[in-house]
């Protein structure tokens, strides 16, 4: 059995449930067979007890019945285990499928579309949110089905044994879901508040960690710790409120279950004393009474899973509802050498009827270092986002042409990207470089490090390529981080290299080293650099200025640099 994949299906709990309907159907079928075996087991057990206690039968005479009793017990245990395994497998596969779909959707949304969501909210939805759905599919749905199957089967059996007991069970049983629903209305509001506080706590904690340096510089670290502690305490209080409602629900269930069983016992006790009922029927009904309420107890224990899943779906649905802003592109890089990338009548923006770029026409050629300049907010970042495929154009197109004159509309997989603040992970220098190519050997690492003018400082580190570095390049200078990021992207050997302010905030020596390394990389690639000033201008073969939504060439800057 497989989980049905739906890229554009109904992104609700009901829609997700339909995707594992086969798994759930098998589990309910196994549970139904187990319910039949339970009825047979209790019937055989009641007959054995009646024969031994009042029928003057020897234990040897009951051996065949005892064998059937053991068989029913073992078969029920096996069926229950199989049903649990089926629901667990189905729910786990569904959660894995949903996580893949959500990640793919977020890739299609891109960082531009994700700008309205904090990192903490997204991580919480992907982690705790999706994990919170698993008990809903693995426990709540199967138990909700068994809450109908087993009680109705027991009621049908009790009806043939005793009418008064049937009336008692039939009247008290439905009261439990009714009171649970009444309690659940308040519980759902509390669960929604708990989920909101969890999102806020996760976002605030992540923001505090990321901004720890700034908080310490401004002497606000203790305030941040106090704020996070306050949110954690609010989350604790809300969680305790949820537990109070859960205990109240259990108390309501146990009260009605105990009352019903007591009524059945009193009615049968009085009739046994009067001689109007036989022991076997009375004993069998008393055995059925607790089992009648057992599915209701199990359903009550998992009812919070539904409330938790409903609250989690609110955050997950918001992510699925985000429109796809990034352009779709193939994962297969272009094997033929590209000679140019052209922007043809390109217009783009972030809001309707408010374009940031209008009718842009420009060409980036192979072997040319192209520089994009302009004032802050002029549209440089928007142009780069279009080139990276992180933003879809409103009009026009961007195409790449290879040496044979073929036009490629999907070429973003051939891009290498170095942001202004490169992301380095906690690990060794080699591990950071191998993020671009996990199979790269040490000689390949040395080669790209040499191209990026990073080999000398890497070999000067205490353990060379095996030297551990912290997140965001802790223990490295700004110039070293930029050169390491350049070496990493060169390890992919991209045909197109795009860099955002690679020499910003660097000292003159580091700036010159990074600029020279970029110029060497441009000898056999299409290289596009965003920069305002600095040594990189001396290596540019094309300078484009972005101004008021237009892109124009600035040849006089090339003459000045020459």
Residues 458-485 pLDDT 10s: 888 888 888 888 777 677 887 788 888 8
Task: Provide the β-strand partners of residue 418.
Answer: 499
pLDDT digits (tens, 9 = 90+) for 176-201: 777 766 666 666 677 777 777 777 78
Q: Is the pLDDT of residue 37 over 50?
A: yes
| Mean pLDDT of the chain, nearest integer | 82
Average pLDDT of 326-352?
Answer: 78
Structural domains in the chain, CATH included, are 13-320 (1.20.1560.10), 338-561 (3.40.50.300)
Q: Is the pLDDT of residue 8 over 50?
A: no
Order the strands of the 415-418 sheet from edge to edge: 415-418, 496-500, 526-530, 368-374, 542-547, 550-553
What local confidence, expressed as pLDDT, does residue 64 receive? 86
Q: Is the pLDDT of residue 277 over 80?
A: no
Q: How confident is the model at residue 307 (pLDDT cuts 50, 70, 90)?
A: confident
Closest CA to 436 of 399, 365, 485, 507: 485
Q: Which two tokens stand for residue 561?
A: 């640099």
Q: How confident is the model at residue 317 (pLDDT cuts 50, 70, 90)?
A: confident
Q: How confident is the model at residue 2 (pLDDT cuts 50, 70, 90)?
A: low
Average pLDDT of 242-268?
Answer: 79
Closest CA to 305 of 5, 13, 11, 24: 13
Q: Quote the CA–CA distance of 319 and 306 in Å, as a whole number.
A: 20
Q: How confident is the model at residue 555 (pLDDT cuts 50, 70, 90)?
A: low
Q: Pick the more confident residue, 39 or 174.
A: 39
Q: How confident is the model at residue 561 (pLDDT cuts 50, 70, 90)?
A: very low
Q: Is the pLDDT of residue 245 over 70?
A: yes
Would you say 151 and 292 are in contact if contact means Cβ atoms under 8 Å apart? yes
Q: Is the pLDDT of residue 248 over 70?
A: yes
What local confidence, expressed as pLDDT, does residue 332 receive? 67
Q: Pick the more confident residue, 286 or 333.
A: 286
Would you say 399 and 341 are in contact if contact means Cβ atoms under 8 Å apart? yes
Q: Quote the CA–CA distance of 461 and 393 in Å, as a whole number.
A: 45
Q: Pick the more confident residue, 332 or 91.
A: 91
Would you say 504 and 420 are in contact if contact means Cβ atoms under 8 Å apart? yes
Q: How confident is the model at residue 252 (pLDDT cuts 50, 70, 90)?
A: confident
Q: Quote the CA–CA distance of 515 and 367 in Å, as a whole number.
A: 15
Q: Pick the more confident residue, 92 or 55.
A: 92
**Rounded to an integer, what is the distance from CA 135 to the centroid of its chain?**
15
Q: Quote the CA–CA distance of 329 and 523 in Å, as a whole number.
A: 26
Closest CA to 494 of 531, 522, 516: 522
Q: Is the pLDDT of residue 562 over 60?
A: no
Average pLDDT of 227-236?
Answer: 85
Average pLDDT of 68-77?
Answer: 92
In Å, what is the CA distance from 541 to each residue of 341, 439, 537?
A: 15, 35, 9
Q: How confident is the model at residue 77 (pLDDT cuts 50, 70, 90)?
A: very high
What local confidence, expressed as pLDDT, does residue 89 receive? 92
pLDDT digits (tens, 9 = 90+) for 102-122: 888 888 888 877 777 777 778
Q: Is the pLDDT of residue 7 over 50?
A: no
Average pLDDT of 405-410?
Answer: 76
What local confidence, expressed as pLDDT, does residue 74 receive? 94
pLDDT digits (tens, 9 = 90+) for 521-545: 888 888 998 887 667 888 888 888 8
Q: Which two tokens stand for residue 49?
A: 């007890």
Bridge pairing between strands 496-500 and 526-530: parallel
Closest CA to 543 of 56, 552, 535, 240: 552
pLDDT digits (tens, 9 = 90+) for 422-436: 888 888 888 888 988
Helices 508-521 and 478-491: angle between axes, nearest 10 degrees: 10
Closest CA to 303 of 134, 149, 181: 181
Q: Which two tokens stand for residue 77?
A: 């245990």
DSSP calls for 513-546: HHHHHHHHHGGGSEEEEE-SSSGGGGG-SEEEEE
Average pLDDT of 503-516?
Answer: 80
pLDDT digits (tens, 9 = 90+) for 258-275: 888 888 888 877 877 777
Q: Quote the CA–CA distance of 272 and 36 in Å, as a whole number.
A: 28
Q: Which two tokens stand for residue 136?
A: 């809903």
Q: Is the pLDDT of residue 6 over 70?
A: no
């Amino acid at each position: 059995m497989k989980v049905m994949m739906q890229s554009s299906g109904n992104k609700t709990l009901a829609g997700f449930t339909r995707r594992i309907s086969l798994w759930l159907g098998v589990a309910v079928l196994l549970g139904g067979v187990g319910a039949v075996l339970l009825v047979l087991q209790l019937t055989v057990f009641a007959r054995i007890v009646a024969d031994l206690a009042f029928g003057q039968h020897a234990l040897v005479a009951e051996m065949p019945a005892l064998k059937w009793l053991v068989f029913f017990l073992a078969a029920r245990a096996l069926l229950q285990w199989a049903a649990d395994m089926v629901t667990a497998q189905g729910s786990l596969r569904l959660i894995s499928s949903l996580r893949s779909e959500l990640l793919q959707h977020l890739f299609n949304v891109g960082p531009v579309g994700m700008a309205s969501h904090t990192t903490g909210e997204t991580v919480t939805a992907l982690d705790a949110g999706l994990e919170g759905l698993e008990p809903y599919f693995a426990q709540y749905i199967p138990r909700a089905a068994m809450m109908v199957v087993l009680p109705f089967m027991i009621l049908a059996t009790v009806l043939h044994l005793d009418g008064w007991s049937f009336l008692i069970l039939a009247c008290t049983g439905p009261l439990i879901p009714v009171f649970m629903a009444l309690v659940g209305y308040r519980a759902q509001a509390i669960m929604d508040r708990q989920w909101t506080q969890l999102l806020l706590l996760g976002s605030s904690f992540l923001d505090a960690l990321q901004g720890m340096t700034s908080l310490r510089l401004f002497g606000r670290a203790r305030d941040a710790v106090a704020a996070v502690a306050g949110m954690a305490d609010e989350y604790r209080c809300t969680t305790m409120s949820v537990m109070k409602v859960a205990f109240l629900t259990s108390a309501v269930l146990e009260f009605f279950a105990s009352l019903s069983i007591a009524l059945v016992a009193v009615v049968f006790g009085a009739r046994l004393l009067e001689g109007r009922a036989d022991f076997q029927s009375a004993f069998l009904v008393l055995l059925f009474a607790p089992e009648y309420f057992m599915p209701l107890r199990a359903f009550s224990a998992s009812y919070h899973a539904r409330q938790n899943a409903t609250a989690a779906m609110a955050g997950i649905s918001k992510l699925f509802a985000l429109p796809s802003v990034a352009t779709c592109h193939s994962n297969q890089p272009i094997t033929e050498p590209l000679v140019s990338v052209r922007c043809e009548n390109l217009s783009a923006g972030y809001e309707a009827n408010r374009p940031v770029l209008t009718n842009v026409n420009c060409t980036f050629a192979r072997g040319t270092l192209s520089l994009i300049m302009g004032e802050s907010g002029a549209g440089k970042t928007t142009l780069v986002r279009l080139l990276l495929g992180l933003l879809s154009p409103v009009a026009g197109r961007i195409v790449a042409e290879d040496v044979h004159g073929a036009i490629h509309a999907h070429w973003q997989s051939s891009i290498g990207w170095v942001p202004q603040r490169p992301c380095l992970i906690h690990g060794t220098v080699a591990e950071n470089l191998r993020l671009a190519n996990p199979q790269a050997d040490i000689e390949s690492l040395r080669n790209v490090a040499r191209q990026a003018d990073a080999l000398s400082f890497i070999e000067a580190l205490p353990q060379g390529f095996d030297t551990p570095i912290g997140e965001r390049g802790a223990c490295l200078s700004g110039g070293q981080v930029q050169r390491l990021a350049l070496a990493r992207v060169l390890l992919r050997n991209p045909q197109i290299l795009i860099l955002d302010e690679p020499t910003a905030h660097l000292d003159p020596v580091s700036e010159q080293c990074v600029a020279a390394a970029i110029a060497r990389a441009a000898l056999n690639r299409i290289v596009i650099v965003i920069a305002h000033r600095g040594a990189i201008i001396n290596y540019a073969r094309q300078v484009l200025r972005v101004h008021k939504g237009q892109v124009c060439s600035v040849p006089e800057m090339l003459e000045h640099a020459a």
